[in-house]
Structure 1
């Protein structure tokens, strides 16, 4: 599809410059607070991942200006872009962060971004660098970055994802850039240049799914977004319409965009409110969750034990099978993109939290044996029904000859039509915080995030996430 003539960059600039906190609906604010609770918990859980510890060591070794602290690491501070790299990678380290929703039946699920980590990371890091940022200003910057990121992703053609780009790394760069630019007060040419710099820095390819580099895509999106805004603030220049034209972001990265969708414009309505955002129940690729819920239902309904299972047959379309690509996972990162591993985990543990995603467990005898007895089958009938829903079927053959069948519920648990309750969201936050921030500080942090735009102390919030406020080294 050839891109129609457009002025999307200019429209984005008008939206960023002209939108105020008062323009945000109460629905958008309420959902934004939920997304922040979810993301802050993930910073804490991610801070203990091996990949993030390597990035922390690297950032501290590089040194430099003491702009911002690092999650779960105490008082040490590093330059803002390095801090953003670490925070962003921590937020995506478990692949448990939220996902934008689309109602377009032709849209490819993988083209949707994980929208909260880039703008929230950039906003928190720049707020730490600047000091004196209010919770309302932070919320506005977050919402603007979230919206621009999601609309770019929604308007992109599926070719972007199908050719191997990772949208959360590419499009996420714009979410981080917008949030950082808003808090830095960029407007006009400097805001346009920030978006132009971001367009050239955006990167991330799907070959690295199932490795440490997959969450680094989001970390780099955050780092690059902060870098783009800081450079533009100093007068660094780029093409002022980098989303548009023959060599613009849409054309080069996705061979165009959907002109009819783009005519809707930014903020009409805000994506965070409609069609909404999904908060993940499991720390794995979003395409896996309905199937995991189906297996959990099958296991509990039949009180199925692992030792009773002869074989598991998983039937799905290409929209699941192609990206969820590991036939047998050897470590916890591969397990996030392996249906045999995820189904085996549910059978063995009857849950799948970040506590189950450990290398020793995934590589253990029980998981390896059950994965080897699980076959993944591309079902042409499921493909023929289209990709507007994530459809799959599980058939378990037991050693005593029974065949147990369970279709996945097409309503996504965690999505707008079947949302996670506030109580369950708080439970996820506490599970993520466990062992990193406990007791009174954990309770205080949750309260600060839930009231972020109602007078919360942003500096205190950052200090609690980093561990500076609790004296952790």
Structure 2
């Protein structure tokens, strides 16, 4: 992996205004998901268990507990994806931020002089690395992207923050590949919450990889390509050219709905049709969703738990129709048990149409067709959802999202202090301060 490290690190780089804005947005959004995730009841129990066996000096976001470094990385990883509001990058086919931001935050506790301007620079660089790993890797279809190539990005983020040399980064990547997780896409569809541990394993693995490197351990030649082209994937194109500029972080997406990203286009398309034609539930005989292959797997009509509901297009559409909400409160109320929502969900069918595979991931399209009880059909195709590269959320919209989602956890003044800190991050002498702001609430 030295060749990739050399190509990336030898390029001249200077933060642009676009980089800076994008990085601030990614940081604010990821901090928000971490705060919410740390306050889930399962997460609080997990933190309590780890704190009882893991003695250390590392603070946790939105918690009064302290643990050791490996446990801090692991717990941040679980929390970062617990509420399904984490940002993503469709070009990487995954979620770079949850693999790199926690690693930089971890380093901030170790280096009280880690300034905000350096944090921003490292975030843009490590995000670029992580996205590139996703682009060049073709995973086996049965795998979930969390915790696979993301462990490489997590390790690089930590190495960059530690000011590793190019040679060290190359070796670090090969060591980190050892900790890639054999994930399962079906875990999300079934609602198996072990899926939330995939990122956690990657972050813990990245910390281990760094210390193994420092101790003099080495990986076998070609370790990364072997793992990702033979064990976890079918190919890894290490010769793929890098992008001409460090702008991967500007091409991401943010979630407005607390569902898997593959749900968003069918959901917004359905909302549009319902509102456009003033359709009542009694008028609906059947709803057909045609979409690309990956999204078509989110076809479960009756879901058994919160996580499987987040990965169900029928539930998303049905719950929105009855509740007119798509935020995390839908799941806190266990709406998946509501019989009226289930009744509508059973009328919604999701199928794969190869025509929508052609332009994926540039377009994450879906066609929604509603058959009315009088025989009329209304339908339309939507190419992308709000929050994506062609319709990204601006900073104020993300501030609103952060404020709304944290309102039951942070005081209004506490949320404002965090937002101001991030908006003025270039002036911050120490990123360690952000822990105090979050935990003071």
**Residue in structure 1 matched with residue 118 of structure 2 by the alignment:** 137
Q: Which runs of 4+ in 1 moved over 6 A?
A: 384-387
**Residue in structure 2 matched with residue 205 of structure 1 by the alignment:** 184
Aligned counterparts of 1:187 and 1:338: Cα–Cα separation in 2: 44
**Cα 1:452–1:436, aligned 2, differ >3 Å: closer, same or farther?**
same
**Residue in structure 2 matched with residue 236 of structure 1 by the alignment:** 217
**Residue in structure 1 matched with residue 259 of structure 2 by the alignment:** 284
- 1:193–1:240 contact (8 Å) kept in structure 2: no
- 1:41–1:429 contact (8 Å) kept in structure 2: yes
Q: Among 399, 408, 430, which residue is 2:403 paired with?
A: 430
- 1:71 deviation in Å? 2.4
**Residue in structure 2 matched with residue 5 of structure 1 by the alignment:** none
- 1:97 deviation in Å? 1.3
Q: Aligned runs of 1:288-299 on 2, under 5 Å?
A: 288-299=263-274
**Residue in structure 1 matched with residue 321 of structure 2 by the alignment:** 347
Aligned counterparts of 1:423 and 1:305: Cα–Cα separation in 2: 34
1:84 aligns with 2:53: no
- 1:321 deviation in Å? 0.9
Q: Aligned runs of 1:365-444 on 2, under 5 Å?
A: 365-379=339-353, 382=356, 389-398=363-372, 401=374, 403=376, 405-444=378-417
1:70 aligns with 2:60: yes
- 2:299–2:350 contact (8 Å) kept in structure 1: no
Aligned counterparts of 2:336 and 2:66: Cα–Cα separation in 1: 35
Query: What is the DSSP-based 3-state SS (H/G/I as helix, E as strand, rest coil) of the residue aligned with 2:425?
Result: coil
TM, length-normalised to structure 1: 0.85
**Residue in structure 2 matched with residue 253 of structure 1 by the alignment:** 232
**Residue in structure 2 matched with residue 268 of structure 1 by the alignment:** 244
**Cα 1:408–1:79, aligned 2, differ >3 Å: closer, same or farther?**
farther
| Deviates most, 360-369 or 11-20 | 11-20
RMSD: 2.5
TM, length-normalised to structure 2: 0.90
- 1:122–1:179 contact (8 Å) kept in structure 2: yes
**Cα 1:57–1:358, aligned 2, differ >3 Å: closer, same or farther?**
same
**Residue in structure 1 matched with residue 34 of structure 2 by the alignment:** 43
- 1:172 deviation in Å? 1.1
**Cα 1:408–1:422, aligned 2, differ >3 Å: closer, same or farther?**
farther
- 1:15 deviation in Å? 5.1
1:183 aligns with 2:183: no
Q: Among 303, 328, 332, which residue is 1:329 paired with?
A: 303
**Residue in structure 1 matched with residue 135 of structure 2 by the alignment:** 154
Aligned counterparts of 1:250 and 1:140: Cα–Cα separation in 2: 31
- 2:265–2:383 contact (8 Å) kept in structure 1: yes
| Deviates most, 136-145 or 426-435 | 136-145
Segments of 5+ residues of structure 2 without an aligned counterpart are none
**Cα 1:381–1:175, aligned 2, differ >3 Å: closer, same or farther?**
closer
Aligned counterparts of 2:146 and 2:300: Cα–Cα separation in 1: 21
Q: Among 84, 95, 101, which residue is 1:120 paired with?
A: 101
- 1:87 deviation in Å? 1.3
- 1:383 deviation in Å? 5.8
* Count of residue pairs brought into register by the alignment: 438
- 1:387 deviation in Å? 6.5
- 1:10–1:241 contact (8 Å) kept in structure 2: no
- 1:35–1:98 contact (8 Å) kept in structure 2: yes
Q: Aligned runs of 1:43-62 on 2, under 5 Å?
A: 43-62=34-53
Aligned counterparts of 1:118 and 1:273: Cα–Cα separation in 2: 13
- 1:167 deviation in Å? 2.0
